[in-house]
Every structure is written in structure tokens, then in C-alpha cells.
Structure 1
Amino acid sequence: MIQFVFLILIPCLVIGLCVGLIKPTHAPGSIEPSWRLDTQTNYTIDIGYWDTHDTPQDRHYYFNISKITNVSPDGIERNMTLINGAYPGPLMEANSGDVLYIHVLNELDEPTTIHCHGLFFSKESYNDGASSINQCPIPGDGGEYTYRIHIDEDQWGTYWYHSHYGAQQADGIFGPIVIHSEQERKILNTTYDEDVVVMVNDYYQDMANVYMAEYLGPDNENTEPVPDDGLIQGSNSYEYNPDTYVASDGSSRNITYKESYISDLKFHKDKTYRVRLINAGYFAQLNFAIDEHKLKVIEADGTNTEPLELESVDLSVAQRYSFILEPPKGTLTQYWMRARFNTFCFNTDNSNLNPEFHAIVRYNDGNTTLPESESWPYNGGDVRCRDLDQSLLKTLGSTVPLQANGSTRPDVSVDLEVSFQIGAYQLDRGYFNDMTWKPLVNSSTMTELALNPGNNSLRTLSPKALESKNSDQYLLNFDQRGQIVDLIINNYDDGAHPFHMHGHKFWVLMVNDRGYFQEDFYDQGSSPMNFQNPILRDTVSIPGFGYGVIRFVVDNPGVWPFHCHIGWHMESGLLLQINELQDEYSRLEFPETWKNLCVSQ
């Protein structure tokens, strides 16, 4: 339930050239609008409860998805698509071993889905939530569906959920997931007093379809719409100037501006915090820091890591990091939390955008002055649009799978060439090799392969070719449980791509921003690849004109999308599907409610 929050007017102040004019404003005693989620409460985790409730149980969450008009997370009024009428979406929590139920009521005038990003879905792969791949979408105008997801005993950490239909994520359908585990607490051997989620995202000041029509239109050579703003905990205070503001469609449409504010995070000086940082954006890479605080990273995408102390962290869309935050020494009681977009990742300028945005960390409840803290040095962003150097991250307590004889080579390797190409009607689309993805109509890949295994246009059970390329669906078929697979990703595009694999985590054996992969890299003597404890995660960024090698094991029956997590790129077709152990998932007992989703289209 959204709680009302009383806020006090905070005066304006110019804090140097980088910070600019910041107006965290609310009239004294004003009531927080009901559509704004109370993240101070909702994103603060009750550690005591989860430490004492380890017995597996069912966890039920109820999502009413609808459109809402005239809301203003940053002061510019627009319409949005929200969960339970609130922005951002609520925190979902469970323990390893629990069964998570998400009851969805779709009151939109279009279909929707919910994907729990990073979860394995090892018992219910059909509930992964990728529209036209794992399921037909939930119809609009009152359509209902319940996702049942069994959380694996060996899965824990920081995740998030979002719509996997069209561009609905950019319009507000997303929120955090935290999976607790006694086993994780033992592995970490790290104590902290409080546990909080921080959601950071890029933000567009109009409905995403307004931008999407131009982006997917003729003569646009992958010039992605640049965000208008950035939000922390769903909020920012945008500096609106009616004389210079340009609407998303280039028109002079009427803009309604309402006072807004930057988020305050209430901390305590005598406590140590675990902060779970999530980049829930649609496009932009960013740098995150808290003035005068070191960030001791202990988790990346749900994987525990050897502690790594940083002043700031660069993360691409869909990536997550947990870090331990200790109160700094000194007399200050409030500090700037800073997020900065890497503008080198943008192909064009947006005159509306201030690339740096903020929240405030307060170690006292009563003081409402603006911070006077000093920023860590910042170089303005990496010109090659690289995120955090992945070789700095070491997985804690686990090693890369190798062949029985100790060979570092995989059982199967697949070369993937990533590009954008202009095809019919001057449309620029994203490609893996020679294939660009388009969603199936009135069906899904899993529906076709599981329910019609010998009579479909995508792939039959025999012959068992590694690749299938039919009906705009590019499938990599793996039918042998336990196979070790390497994907060698060659990025021939000038932009970086954060690639995400559903249903798995993968080992990041190497990422390089130039050159080409060589077979002798598998030779252990002088290999630049890490075959010991590289990071095991579900999203990795491959820089422009660079390459990377990732490894996973064939052990999770299902149809798993592998795609760029920049929303504009996925909509333009930069997606393939890993068809894994088709014989096994075809024997699942698919719920009638799942089958009926395709019938109702």
C-alpha cells in the first residue's frame, strides 16, 4: 500500500557546473501523490524477517497494470503505464526455494507480459515472460494470467522484473526483485545492518511509442532516441525552460510542468548498508557514485564476488551490483548520490538532457539542507562506451566448467556477428549473423516447438541441426544435457551492446574492445581468457567493434532469448533464441491458462 509522505520545502542551490540548478521542492505539508511509490519504505528490506523465514513457502504478488494520465516523476507531465498505479514498481522478495506467484490483471488496451530478469525458471520455463517466445502475451481489456515461478535453491541475489512486450518497460512497467538465502549469507561472510534497493533509470518525457515510430522508420540508421532525463528511485527535479524545451516529436505541444523533487535516502551514521543498485533503464549506460563513500562490490547480477572497492561503478542497462556502504568519517550528514550518463554512447544530442542527476543520502532525519560533499574525480565517461572492466570481477566460490580431461575448449562454439543493416523499405534492423528477429503472430516459439514438435515451421526434432533459420526466428538448438557452449560475439556495430541471456548465467571469459578472437586463446599457457573464476552473470556489454566470449552449460530445458537489452535494439530485431533440450521441455505439463493465451489472441 502506498503510504503518504510529508515533505519539507528544500531551497534551491547551485552546486558547481556539474550539478547545476537543483530544486528538490515540495510545499510544506503537501501530500505525496498516490501514484508515487514510497521507495524509502518499499525498497528498504526487513532483514530480521528474512533471516528467520527460511522455510520454503508460496509468495503471492498482485499486479494491476493500467495506464495513468498526468503524472510527473521529474516535473514534466505525461501519461504512463504502471503497476498498481504507482511508479516505480513495487519490490518483490522471496527466499531460495520459495514459489513466487505473480497474479497479473491487464487493464491496458493492448497485451502485456512480465519477465523476471535473471531468474532461471528451471521448472516453469514457459513462464519466462518473453512475448511470442515463451508465451503469447496476456490480452488487454481485463485479461488475466498468473505466473508460477519456483525459485531454485542455488539462486539468490538482486534481480528485477519488467514488461517484455513492446516498449512498455520504458513507460513504467518495471521493479526490483530480491532473492534471500541463508546460503548466500554464509558465503558472503559479511555483516551489514540495513539492506536497501536503489533503482536508477533513463527516462523519456513522452510515451515510448512516440519515439519508437521514428526510430523504426525509414532512413534512420540506428540513431537511438536519447533520454530526456534520469531518475533515482523514480524521481528527479527537471529544470524546465519553456523557451528552449523541445518536445519528443519536435513539435511545440503544450508542456505541463509541476514542481518535483530529488529523492532523499534516510541512512543512519552508526549502521553499515548493503545497497543493491539496478540499472532499470531502456538505453543508457551510466556511472554511479556517492560522494566521499567507497563502494565495496560484493555481488554482480546475483553472483557473489570477491570484494572489490571502487569510487564509482559503470553499469549498462539491466546490470545490477550490490556493495557495502560504510558511513564516512567527518562531520557532514548529507551527501550527493550521483548518476551520470555516458554521452559518448549517444549518436546524437538532446538539448533537454542534463547528463548528471542526483539523490541525497542523509544520515539525519531532520536536516533538509543540500549537501556540500565533494565528488570523486570523474573523467566524463569512456569514449568507447565501455562499462566496468569485467576482468576486475571474480566469482566467489565457483569456477568455470571445463571438459572432463581438463581441456579449456568448449564442446560447441558459435560465432555470432552483430550488425545493423538497412534492408527492405530503407529500414535499419539489428542482426545476429544474417538473421533479424520479428515476433510470431498469434503464437510463440515454445507453443510451436513443444505442442507441435513434428509439425511446425521453426524446427522439427529431426534432423537436429545446430542452427534453424525460419519465419524470422533464429534458433540455436542444443539437445545434449551437460554440453559446454561458448558464444563468440563479434560486434561489427559502432555502439556497445549489453547482451542478456534468459534462463542462465554465463561465464564472461573475456571482453575486448578491439581485434578478433583467436582459437589459440584456448591454450592455457598464454591465454588472455580467464578459465578460473571470471564473473558469472546474465548481462554483459560488448563494446563497439569489439568482441567477447561467454560460456554456459546446457542444463535448463526451455526456449531462452539472447538479446541486446537496449530496448530500441530488441524492437529492431537484435535477438536470437536458444532452444535447449527440446525433448525435455516438450514433456512439461503446460497449464491450460498458458495455452489459452494463444487462443485468445
Structure 2
Amino acid sequence: MKLSTLSLFLFSCIVSFVAAETHTWWFETGWVNANPDGFLEKPMIGWNGTWPLPILRAKKGDTINLYLINGFTDANTTLHFHGMFQNGSSQMDGPPFVTQCPIPPGETMLYNFTLTQHGTYWYHSHTSGQYGDGMRGIFYIDDTEDYPYDYDEEVFLSVTDNYHHNSDYLNPRFLNRYNPAGAEPIPDSSLFNETRNVTWHVQPDTTYLVHIVNVGRFVSQYLYMEGHEFEIVEVDGVMVEKNATDLIYIAVAQRYSVLITTKSDTSQNYAFMNSMDQTLLDYIPADLIVNSTNWIVYDDSAELPGQYYIDDWDADFDDFFLRPLSNQTLFPDPDYVVTIDVVMDNLGNGINYAFFNNITYTPPTVPTLITALTSGEFATNELVYGTNTNSFVLQKGDIIDIVVNNQDSGKHPFHLHGHIFQLIERHPESFTDLVSFNNSDHAEWPEYPMMRDTAYVYPQSYMVLRFVADNPGVWFFHCHIEWHLDQGLAVQFVEDPMGIQADPNQALTPDYINSCQKNNISISGNAAGNSVNLLDLTGEPVQHKPLPPGFTAKGIVALVFSCIAGICGIAAIAVYGMAEIKDVEHRVARDLALDIEDEDDEDEITQAEEGSSSGGEVSK
């Protein structure tokens, strides 16, 4: 099967795909000047001196040896392979202080694991801000069997939001007491394959298999084409029955594979649009281009059309109704239900945070995976993982329901590491009152639920996810809007901790240990780093204290003096306002530049006239 020659889809970046069972790659992080949207050149995080990052490709069953060299001089880094299960290799999953110690400057970590899935995935830094600054790329895993749908050529497409400032500028301004509402930074543009205004040259009567990934940090996007339609065949690595649609809604971190069949007539070119979900933005800057135009080009000599408009943004295909090609039925009733309420609120330092059940995720002193490995029988006790990590211990083989009650006014795309889940219910958006899940009064659940690893919940509404705890490890569950993760919208599942300890493949690698030691992080102990008394959490990192009820002492003093100042001001206005003003008419007339005569002036004129008639002098 031949690959597309489209320069559009960056095939010059694809790492060699060979039939070998082991792929060994060496990549060093560093800053590269780039101009993604054509409006501003800025530093982006590249690998081996180039950006965008390469498309990685391998087969199900292959072994990956990816050596990541931290080329930064002043920042740690990590790498997450989004959507990959990491069976038996939880330490390769990437989130710092969840499954690994961050890689310090100048050090190298080998990410070594075996691919157990197939489909469309991606990789990105899990260190705050870095994937928004460019450390991201597509990772495609071929199946060892024939693809279930016919196609002629294969292409890759990423969409993302883009900021003209990097994270070291944006993050401290976002998490700031002067941003008390927690308003997310507004993107400066959107990108289509890490650029804008792209031309995709196609052949007539050709079916393209297009793998689409939203690698953005904030904004969901709509995709739609003039005169063509998408046939959805895969979501988040899960093959599904074909579904045709004119409009796709893709939240950050989600993936779709679609079939696009071109026309026989080559006389016309067509618009291919990507558009930001404006409901996620607090305001729309006048210069923000929310609808970006790209082109499906049949004939270079033909005109490129203008923007293509649609009338109904609600016409996108609801992924809830996708049916897995495997015909996997609804998992049995849950053994354990984890109910988490999403709230955005301020703490005592004035900063707006995100909370699950009144806890904003605060990283522990020791990575949670280390605690699970070194706590012996205490590893089944959720307390050893800290009071501010929102940790849940799951038993091997249990059926787990995650009920997400979104008490916030915005959408949230949630991603579960280490698993795919069944989306068994997603309640519509509530525009008035908050709607929470009621186990005795809910919609009928589907027989063949849609399955994926990232799903969004509507505002003031809820969704229910179900999965099987069949992968021992520590797995993050978090909002994939990076701003919200930075605010603490995350929990972690410690799955079968005794199974983790019993598996020799879970033993920490030398590179892993080296990263911990270079960062002065203990390789044993509870969330506070205590390896003697595992239930003693003295010194553990915790969230800021809440805002005090009522007024603080300083607030009371400020209020008293403000009231005194206000009373004095009112008194001054009253005293001076009621005082008699001499010659008020004259003063007003002067201020208004009017030429009028008052009574005194008339008396003086009369006296002057009398003096003149008697021959006397009048002196003024």
C-alpha cells in the first residue's frame, strides 16, 4: 500500500517504518525558532534541532527503545505515550510524581515498552507547559492483520491551538491572584498540521485514510469540508462501525481515523475548514481567526475557494453513538463506583484552582508508583499516597464506574491513562440548574457502548465511564485541557498494588533511579517521603488553605477605615455643598462664558449715568 506524497502531511518527518521488532530512537530536547502560524516567529520545543516533531510508526507487538535526552539547561522534562496501555511498564507512562521522577537537565531516560495495541495515538511531554510549547507528535501503530476497511492512500493530520507567548510567560499570569476567575489564556491562532492555510493535493476517485489528532492544550475544534464527507472508522485506537458525517467535533487529546473519498471531477477545488469551539473562550479577540481555511486541491490552476460556512454547529456526529467493531457489550455492574465532582474555586492565596471532591491535585514528594512498590502491605491503604493526591486503590479485575459530575459552566475532556473505557452515559448540557447523576433515575445504557480513552462532559452535567481494572499500575485520570490540569483537576488510580510489587517487570530501571537521585527524590516511602512510618504524612505537600469565612482581621480593619473615609467624604460634601456662595450667578456665568449683568452691575451703570449728567466724575 503506497503512502501519500503530500507535503501537507509532513511525511518528511516520518521516522523510518521497518519490519524489525525493535525500534531504537534517540531524541534530544531543545528550543528551535519557528513561525507556526505565519504571524510570529518564536521558540518551539524541538527534537534533535528540528520542529515539528517526527511522526513515529511501528507495529503491534514491536518493542520501543526511545532514549530521551533532556537538552534543556534549566528545566526538567518527561514523555507520555498518550493512549498506550503500558502493560507491565507503568514507570514508562510519563506523568511526573505519578509514575516517574522528572528527567533533569543533561540526563537521559530510556522509555522501553512493548506495543500491545494498534491505531492512532500521540506522544507529548507531561511536564507543565511543554507540549503546548511544541513537544508533541503523532504515533501510529499498525495492526499485524489486514486493515478492516479498504483505502488507497494514508495521511496524517494534527490540529491544535497556538499561542504567541510560551508557557513560562503564560503560566504565572494564569495561576495568579489577579486572575481570580481562572480565565484561560485565549489562543492567538489555530494550526492545521502545525501551520495554516494548507493545500492538500489529492487524486480523483481515491479513498484516503486520514488519521486526525487534536494535539492542542485547550480548544476543541470542528472539522468540515466543502463537498466531501468523513466516514469515521476509528476513535482513540478503537475500530468502530462506519459512520458518515459532514462535521466532526474533536476535543483536545482525541483521535479520529476517517475515510475521505475524492471526486471524479477535477475542475474545482474545495475548502477544508478547522474551527475553534468558541464556547470554551471567555471572549473573542477582534483579531482572532476562529474559522481557518485550508484547501482540497484537485487542480493547481483552478481558484482556491473562500471560507466555507455551515449553519448548524450542533450537526456534528455524537461519538456516544459509535459502536466498536469488536461488538464489545456493556461490562457487568460495577464493583466500585468512584464519584467525583468538578468545581472551580479560589483558595486562600487568591488563585483559582480546579477540584475533584474539594481536593486540588497536589503532587507528592515521592512518585506514587514508588510508594506502591515500596510500601509492602500498606500499599493497599490509600492514606500512604497522600491526602491531596486524590488517590483511589482498585482491586485486580474489578469493574469500575467513574461518575463525573461537572459543576462547572464549561466542557471538560477527561483522559484515563492505562485503559480505554466505555462511555455509558453522557447527560446533555444543562443551561439552568446543575444536573448530577442519580443511580435510580438515569437514561438507559447502551448494549454496545462507545469505547475510547478521552471523552468530554457537558457543562453543569455528568457522564459515566466504565472500565475493567485489568492493568496493574498507577494511572492518572485528568482533564486534558492543560490549564485545568495545572489548576489541579486530576485523580490517580493505584491499580492492584500487590500485583505491581509482584511483577519483576515493574522494577525501577537504572535511568529511572538516576533521574530520582539527580533530583534528590527518595526511591522509597510514602507521599511525604517517610519510609519508616508509612502512615506518618508529616511534611507532605498540601493545597493552600481555603479562603476564610467572613472577613479576616486585615479585611475588617480595611473595611472600618474605608467606612470612616466614606463618612468623612459625605460630610465634606454636605458641609461645602450647603455653604453660601457669594456672587453665585456671576461665577456660574463666568464658568459658562455667558455675558450677563447682575444687579450690582446695573447699580454701577445707573450711578455712572447720573454722574455724567451732573458733570461730576465717577471713579471705579
Task: Give the TM-score normalised by structure 2.
Answer: 0.77
Give the superposition deviation at 1:350. Answer: 2.6
Q: 1:160 to 1:44 in 2, by over 3 A?
A: same
C-alpha distance in structure 1 between counterparts of 2:108 and 2:169, whole Å: 27
Q: Which residue number corresponds to residue 242 of structure 1?
A: none
Query: Is residue 2:414 matched to residue 1:502?
Result: no
Q: Which residue number corresponds to residue 386 of structure 2?
A: 470
Give the superposition deviation at 1:564. Answer: 0.1
Query: Is residue 2:69 matched to residue 1:105?
Result: yes
The answer as to whether partners of 2:268 and 2:303 remain within 8 angstroms in 1 is no
Deviations, residues 297-320 of structure 1 (Å, cap 9, x unaligned): 000111011111000101110011
Query: Is residue 2:338 matched to residue 1:414?
Result: yes
C-alpha distance in structure 2 between counterparts of 1:44 and 1:126, whole Å: 26
Q: Which residue number corresponds to residue 256 of structure 1?
A: none
* Percentage identity across paired residues of the two chains: 27
Aligned-partner SS, 2:353: strand
Whichever residue aligns with residue 156 of structure 1, its letter is H
C-alpha distance in structure 2 between counterparts of 1:368 and 1:440, whole Å: 60
Whichever residue aligns with residue 100 of structure 2, its letter is Q
**Deviating runs (4+, > 4 A) in structure 1?**
43-46, 70-73
Of 214, 217, 224, the residue aligned with 2:173 is 214
C-alpha distance in structure 1 between counterparts of 2:100 and 2:260, whole Å: 40
Q: Which residue number corresponds to residue 121 of structure 2?
A: 159
Q: Which residue number corresponds to residue 91 of structure 1?
A: 55
Give the superposition deviation at 1:400. Answer: 3.4
Of 126, 139, 163, the residue aligned with 2:91 is 126
Q: Which residue number corresponds to residue 213 of structure 2?
A: 278
Q: Which residue number corresponds to residue 354 of structure 1?
A: 289
Give the superposition deviation at 1:471. Answer: 4.9
Q: Which residue number corresponds to residue 11 of structure 2?
A: 41
Q: Which residue number corresponds to residue 580 of structure 1?
A: 495
Q: Which residue number corresponds to residue 423 of structure 1?
A: 347
C-alpha distance in structure 1 between counterparts of 2:246 and 2:34, whole Å: 38
The answer as to whether partners of 1:292 and 1:374 remain within 8 angstroms in 2 is no
Give the superposition deviation at 1:447. Answer: 1.7
C-alpha distance in structure 2 between counterparts of 1:359 and 1:439, whole Å: 42
Aligned-partner SS, 1:425: coil
C-alpha distance in structure 2 between counterparts of 1:578 and 1:124, whole Å: 15
C-alpha distance in structure 1 between counterparts of 2:292 and 2:214, whole Å: 14
The answer as to whether partners of 1:44 and 1:196 remain within 8 angstroms in 2 is no
Q: 1:362 to 1:302 in 2, by over 3 A?
A: same
Give the superposition deviation at 1:575. Answer: 0.7
Deviations, residues 543-581 of structure 1 (Å, cap 9, x unaligned): 110100000101101110000000000011001101101
Deviations, residues 271-326 of structure 1 (Å, cap 9, x unaligned): 21100111110100110012211100000111011111000101110011011010
The answer as to whether partners of 2:394 and 2:496 remain within 8 angstroms in 1 is yes
Give the superposition deviation at 1:184. Answer: 6.0
The answer as to whether partners of 1:158 and 1:322 remain within 8 angstroms in 2 is yes
1:20-31 superposed matches below 5 A: none
Q: Which has the higher helix share?
A: 2
Task: Give the total of aligned pairs.
Answer: 505
Give the superposition deviation at 1:132. Answer: 1.4
The answer as to whether partners of 2:92 and 2:99 remain within 8 angstroms in 1 is yes
Whichever residue aligns with residue 399 of structure 2, its letter is I
Q: Which residue number corresponds to residue 435 of structure 1?
A: 359
Deviations, residues 317-368 of structure 1 (Å, cap 9, x unaligned): 001101101002434353222100011211123333110113222235xx16
Of 444, 447, 460, the residue aligned with 1:545 is 460
Whichever residue aligns with residue 199 of structure 1, its letter is S
Deviations, residues 513-566 of structure 1 (Å, cap 9, x unaligned): 2433222358xxxx4221x21111000000110100000101101110000000
1:197-208 superposed matches below 5 A: 197-208=156-167
Q: 1:369 to 1:215 in 2, by over 3 A?
A: farther
Give the superposition deviation at 1:195. Answer: 0.9
Give the superposition deviation at 1:105. Answer: 1.2
Q: Which residue number corresponds to residue 27 of structure 1?
A: none
Q: 1:77 to 1:437 in 2, by over 3 A?
A: same
Whichever residue aligns with residue 167 of structure 1, its letter is G
Q: Which residue number corresponds to residue 308 of structure 1?
A: 243
Aligned-partner SS, 2:61: coil
Deviations, residues 75-107 of structure 1 (Å, cap 9, x unaligned): 311122222333321101111111112111111
Deviations, residues 106-155 of structure 1 (Å, cap 9, x unaligned): 11121111101000000211100111111011111x21111012111xx1
Q: 1:216 to 1:326 in 2, by over 3 A?
A: same
Aligned-partner SS, 1:275: strand
Q: Which runs of 5+ in 1 are unaligned?
A: 8-36, 237-261, 404-408, 455-459
Deviations, residues 55-78 of structure 1 (Å, cap 9, x unaligned): x70012222210124645423111
Larger radius of gyration: 2
The answer as to whether partners of 2:345 and 2:354 remain within 8 angstroms in 1 is yes
Aligned-partner SS, 2:463: strand
Of 174, 180, 191, the residue aligned with 2:136 is 174
Aligned-partner SS, 1:277: strand
Whichever residue aligns with residue 209 of structure 1, its letter is D
Aligned-partner SS, 2:170: helix
Q: Which residue number corresponds to residue 247 of structure 1?
A: none
Q: Which residue number corresponds to residue 321 of structure 2?
A: 392
The answer as to whether partners of 1:296 and 1:307 remain within 8 angstroms in 2 is yes
Q: Which residue number corresponds to residue 444 of structure 1?
A: 367
Q: 1:86 to 1:179 in 2, by over 3 A?
A: same
Q: Which residue number corresponds to residue 112 of structure 2?
A: 148
Q: Which residue number corresponds to residue 536 of structure 2?
A: none
1:271-350 superposed matches below 5 A: 271-350=206-285
Q: Which residue number corresponds to residue 593 of structure 1?
A: 511
Whichever residue aligns with residue 533 of structure 1, its letter is Y
C-alpha distance in structure 1 between counterparts of 2:8 and 2:375, whole Å: 47
C-alpha distance in structure 2 between counterparts of 1:169 and 1:595, whole Å: 24
Deviations, residues 184-221 of structure 1 (Å, cap 9, x unaligned): 62xx2x11011111011000011122111111001421
Q: 1:274 to 1:43 in 2, by over 3 A?
A: farther
Q: 1:333 to 1:41 in 2, by over 3 A?
A: farther
Query: Is residue 2:298 matched to residue 1:363?
Result: yes
C-alpha distance in structure 1 between counterparts of 2:336 and 2:441, whole Å: 15
Aligned-partner SS, 1:339: strand
Aligned-partner SS, 1:447: helix
Of 405, 427, 450, the residue aligned with 1:535 is 450
C-alpha distance in structure 2 between counterparts of 1:184 and 1:554, whole Å: 29
Q: Which residue number corresponds to residue 28 of structure 1?
A: none
Query: Is residue 2:191 matched to residue 1:193?
Result: no
Query: Is residue 2:184 matched to residue 1:224?
Result: yes
Q: 1:318 to 1:70 in 2, by over 3 A?
A: closer
The answer as to whether partners of 1:468 and 1:474 remain within 8 angstroms in 2 is no
Q: Which residue number corresponds to residue 484 of structure 1?
A: 399
C-alpha distance in structure 2 between counterparts of 1:387 and 1:115, whole Å: 30
Aligned-partner SS, 2:131: helix
The answer as to whether partners of 2:205 and 2:264 remain within 8 angstroms in 1 is no
Deviations, residues 443-485 of structure 1 (Å, cap 9, x unaligned): 311122213446xxxxx335x45x8772521101012x21101
